């Protein structure tokens, strides 16, 4: 999350979601009713736990042999959120979130990615 100039956290999130909204590829991802039902059934705290776990296992390691293919396009609302927020692989995380590849993600970086995912999910629920 280091840029050429200092940005507040709010400014960063605002411009990130603006950029994602302007991306034809990212903005076509939306939660379907079955995924919304699943979130309501499990609760947002549990979904956040799932997001933490998925980021820790599939994104955090320094070396990911199948990077770019570790996040399915369906099956869990967090997967959809990951494609929508460019937290789906280390290549996208580098490009969109300015976090270098080939290095284990710190707990702070992992928490940031989980936050991005959960903000997107909450926005989707509001617009559903």
Closer of 58 and 124 to Zn ion (Cβ): 58
Closer of 34 and 83 to Zn ion (Cβ): 83
Kindly state the smallest distance separating residue 16's Cβ from Zn ion, in Å: 15
Token match 């869990």: residue? 76
DSSP character at residue 3: -
C-alpha 77/C-alpha 126 separation (Å) is: 15
Closer of 11 and 17 to Zn ion (Cβ): 17
Kindly state the smallest distance separating residue 128's Cβ from Zn ion, in Å: 24
Give CA 43 to chain center in angstroms. Answer: 18
Kindly state the smallest distance separating residue 79's Cβ from Zn ion, in Å: 11
Measure the N-to-C terminal CA separation of the chain; round to a whole number of Å: 30
Binding mask 20-49 for Zn ion (x = CB under 5 A): ------------------------------
Kindly state the smallest distance separating residue 73's Cβ from Zn ion, in Å: 11
Closest to 13 in 3D by CA, of 124, 128, 115, 121 = 115
Q: How many CA atoms lie within 13 A of 113 on its CB side?
A: 32
Q: Considering CB under 5 A, how many residues would be counted as binding Zn ion?
A: 3
How far is CA 119 from each of CA 68, 69, 71, 124, rounded to the nearest angstrom?
A: 22, 23, 19, 9
Contacts with Zn ion in 75-104 (CB under 5 A)?
88-89, 92
Q: List contacts with Zn ion (CB under 5 A).
A: 88-89, 92
């Amino acid at each position: 999350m280091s840029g050429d100039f200092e940005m507040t956290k709010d400014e960063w999130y605002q411009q990130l979601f603006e950029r994602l909204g302007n991306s034809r590829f990212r903005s076509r991802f939306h939660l379907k009713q079955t995924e919304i039902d699943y979130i309501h059934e499990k609760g947002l705290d549990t979904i956040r736990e799932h997001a933490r776990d998925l980021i820790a296992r599939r994104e955090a390691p320094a070396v990911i042999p199948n990077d770019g293919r570790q996040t399915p396009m369906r099956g869990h609302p967090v997967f959809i959120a990951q494609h929508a927020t460019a937290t789906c692989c280390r290549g996208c995380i580098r490009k969109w979130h300015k976090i270098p590849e080939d290095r284990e993600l710190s707990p702070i970086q992992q928490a940031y990615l989980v936050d991005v995912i959960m903000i997107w999910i909450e926005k989707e629920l509001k617009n559903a």
